[in-house]
Amino acid sequence: MKEVIRSQRLGEQYQKILHPSGLTILLYPMEGFKSAYALFATNYGSVDASFKTDKDEDFVTVPAGIAHFLEHKLFESEDGDAFERYAKTGANANAFTSFDKTAYLFSCTDHFKESIEILLDFVTHPYFTPQTVKKEQGIIGQEIRMYDDNPDWRVYFNLLGALYHVNPVRIDIAGTVESIAQIDADLLYRCYHTFYNLHNMTLAVAGNFDPDVVLDAADRILKPAPKQELTRKVADEPDTVRTTLVEQTLPVAIPLFQIGFKGKAGKTERENLWGKTADEVLLEIIAGDSTPLYRRLLEAELINQTFEGEAMANRDYSLTFYSGESRDPKRVRDEIATEILRLRSEGIDPQLFDRVKKAVYGRYLGAYGRPEALAGLMVTAQFADVDAYEILEMLASLTLEQLNQRLPVSFDVERCALSIVRS
In the chain, what percentage of residues exceed pLDDT 70?
A: 100
Task: Give pTM, 2 decimals.
Answer: 0.95
Domains of the chain, start order: 2-232 (3.30.830.10), 245-422 (3.30.830.10)
Of the candidates 65, 130, 138, 55, the one whose C-alpha atom is nearest the C-alpha of residue 102 is 65
H-run or E-run covering 37: strand 36-42
pLDDT in tens, 328-354: 999 999 999 999 999 999 999 999 999
Query: What mean pLDDT comes out for the span 369-395?
Result: 96
Q: Which residues are catalytic?
A: 71
Per-residue pLDDT for 77 more than 90?
no
Helix, coil or strand: residue 77: strand
Helix axes 66-74, 185-195, angle to 10 degrees: 90
Antiparallel, parallel or unpaired: β 60-61 and 50-53: antiparallel
CA distances from 82 to 10, 123, 249, 315 (A): 37, 9, 40, 31
Instruction: Point out which residues pair with 231 in neighbouring strands.
Output: 52
Cα 53 from Cα 232, distance rounded (Å): 9
Lowest average pLDDT, out of 55-59, 108-112, 165-169, goes to 55-59
Residue pair 257/418 in contact by the 8 Å Cβ criterion: yes
